[in-house]
Amino acid sequence: MSAIEARVREVAARATELHARALVIDSMAGGPGVLTPAMVEELGDLSDDLATPEVFRELERVQTRAFRAGTFTAWWDAVEVSGVNVLSVTVGAWGDQPFSFRGAVQDLGEWHQRIDADQRMTLIREANDLRQCVDTRRTGILLGFQECSQLEGDLRNVETFHGLGVRMIQLTYNGRSLAGCGCTEPVDDGLTAFGRDLIRQLNEVGILIDISHCGPKTSLEAIAWSRVPVAVSHAACAGVHPHARNKHDDVLRALGDTGGYFGVCLVPGFIARADEIPSVEHFVAHVQHALELTGPLAVGIGTDWGVECSPPSLRRRLQAEASARGFRPSDNFRFAQLTAGFETWVLGYPRLTEALLDAGLDEPTVERILGENFARFFGAATSGRTP
């Protein structure tokens, strides 16, 4: 055996052991992204004329029925192979309009049915729930919004959704919201008066503030305005790849200075140029850049990728919706594209641990990236204290 082969085996063995013992949190879970043949058949029977929001509502209902019937073993098998203990999932992305109150209530109903039906799943409400997922071998579900329109401009709904289990709310998507400006807005005017009031209310009730899709000015103002740390649950570094969805160095430094969190994603177009083949190595480069600017306690993983198992018809609808929600051709956001080494969320997640170790990061640093940093941030941001 050559020295190179010996090192490869040694790193792989260390990665397997570390991944198995660590608290592993995907702060914007793209996976598991699996469907059973019966689900695919049932979805295929839906009319092509059915509106996209209704198609995705039916997708959620189909999955809920499988969870309740105990027939969704493919989902549980996928989670076990991935080694992920906690998945942060988006609710309320569909409905009469994107990011609607109605869609949020519908999605929350589906997830609460699933959690009630299967004791292997648990709702994440507080920081202690995260660590208990390792001890109890239960899969944690962290519910969040990727915009704030679900609130319908009524700050009282922050308390309503907190009561329904929502623990993370993003201020904007790509465009302009009631709270501020997204990353594809031509001009970023920063936080609105509603946005500042919303941050106060989120701080008050203990819901995480997410600025993943916010524009640069809105991002920095949100960090400064919040009295507790804020999150970028899923993005990459503009200093490595200048993309509208990636965060500039000043935002990364501000997150590090205030105890915030930065989840590095695996979205192909965000981590590599259009003329490159996106890979796990690109992901590692973004992690290393983020560590240099934020320090060792802020960086985590928010994959935001896991559509590879979706039927082509659903992917086509998703691609059309991405354009409608602000992604431009120049943003290179394509659901048909894969990240080499992360072709599937299920098999790719353990490879991330190996790639980080292979890049020379020590085990304590990798363990923090896998989940400890998010757990620390969650505890600080929901308790009203700055770490």
| Amino acid of residue 331 | D
10 lies in some domain = no
- Going by pLDDT thresholds of 50, 70 and 90, the confidence category of residue 198 is very high
Quote the distance between the C-alpha of residue 106 and its chain's center.
20
Distance of alpha carbon 95 from alpha carbon 49, whole angstroms = 16
Structure tokens at 34: 């699996």
Residue 66 main-chain phi, psi, to 5 deg: -65, -40
pLDDT at 30: 81
Averaged pLDDT for residues 255-280: 96
6 lies in some domain = no
Distance of alpha carbon 8 from alpha carbon 107, whole angstroms = 43
Helix (H, G, I), strand (E, B) or coil at 155: coil
Of the candidates 381, 30, 32, which has an alpha carbon nearest to the alpha carbon of residue 226?
A: 381
Burial 254-281 (b: 16+ CB within 10 A, else e): bbbebbbbbbbbbbbbbbbeeeeebbbb
Name which residue leads in pLDDT, 11 or 210: 210
**Bond into 32 cis (ω within 30):** yes
2 lies in some domain = no
Determine the structural domain holding residue 350 and report its residue range.
15-383
CATH number assigned to the domain comprising residue 80: 3.20.20.140
299 lies in some domain = yes
- Going by pLDDT thresholds of 50, 70 and 90, the confidence category of residue 309 is low
Distance of alpha carbon 213 from alpha carbon 170, whole angstroms = 8
Q: Do strands 121-123 and 25-26 pair parallel, antiparallel, or not at all (unpaired)?
A: unpaired
pTM: 0.95
- Is 42 a residue whose pLDDT tops 90? no
316 lies in some domain = yes
Q: How many residues does the chain have?
A: 387
**Cβ–Cβ < 8 Å for 364, 351:** no
pLDDT at 120: 97
pLDDT tens figures, 216-245: 999 999 999 999 999 999 999 999 999 999
109 lies in some domain = yes
Of the candidates 56, 25, 62, which has an alpha carbon nearest to the alpha carbon of residue 321?
A: 56
Question: DSSP secondary-structure letter at 206?
Answer: T
Averaged pLDDT for residues 244-270: 97
Averaged pLDDT for residues 320-347: 84
Distance of alpha carbon 376 from alpha carbon 154, whole angstroms = 30
Place of tokens 């991002």: 219
- Is 337 a residue whose pLDDT tops 90? no
How many CB atoms within 10 Å of residue 152?
13
Distance of alpha carbon 251 from alpha carbon 313, whole angstroms = 37
147 lies in some domain = yes
- Is 385 a residue whose pLDDT tops 60? no
* Beta-carbon contacts of residue 219 (< 8 Å; ≥ 6 apart): 211, 232, 247, 251
Of the candidates 214, 210, 223, which has an alpha carbon nearest to the alpha carbon of residue 254?
A: 223
pLDDT at 1: 65
310 lies in some domain = yes
Distance of alpha carbon 359 from alpha carbon 49, whole angstroms = 49
| Amino acid of residue 264 | V
pLDDT at 194: 98
Of the candidates 136, 113, 82, 123, which has an alpha carbon nearest to the alpha carbon of residue 301?
A: 82
- Is 130 a residue whose pLDDT tops 60? yes
In the chain, the number of structural domains is 1
Distance of alpha carbon 290 from alpha carbon 301, whole angstroms = 11
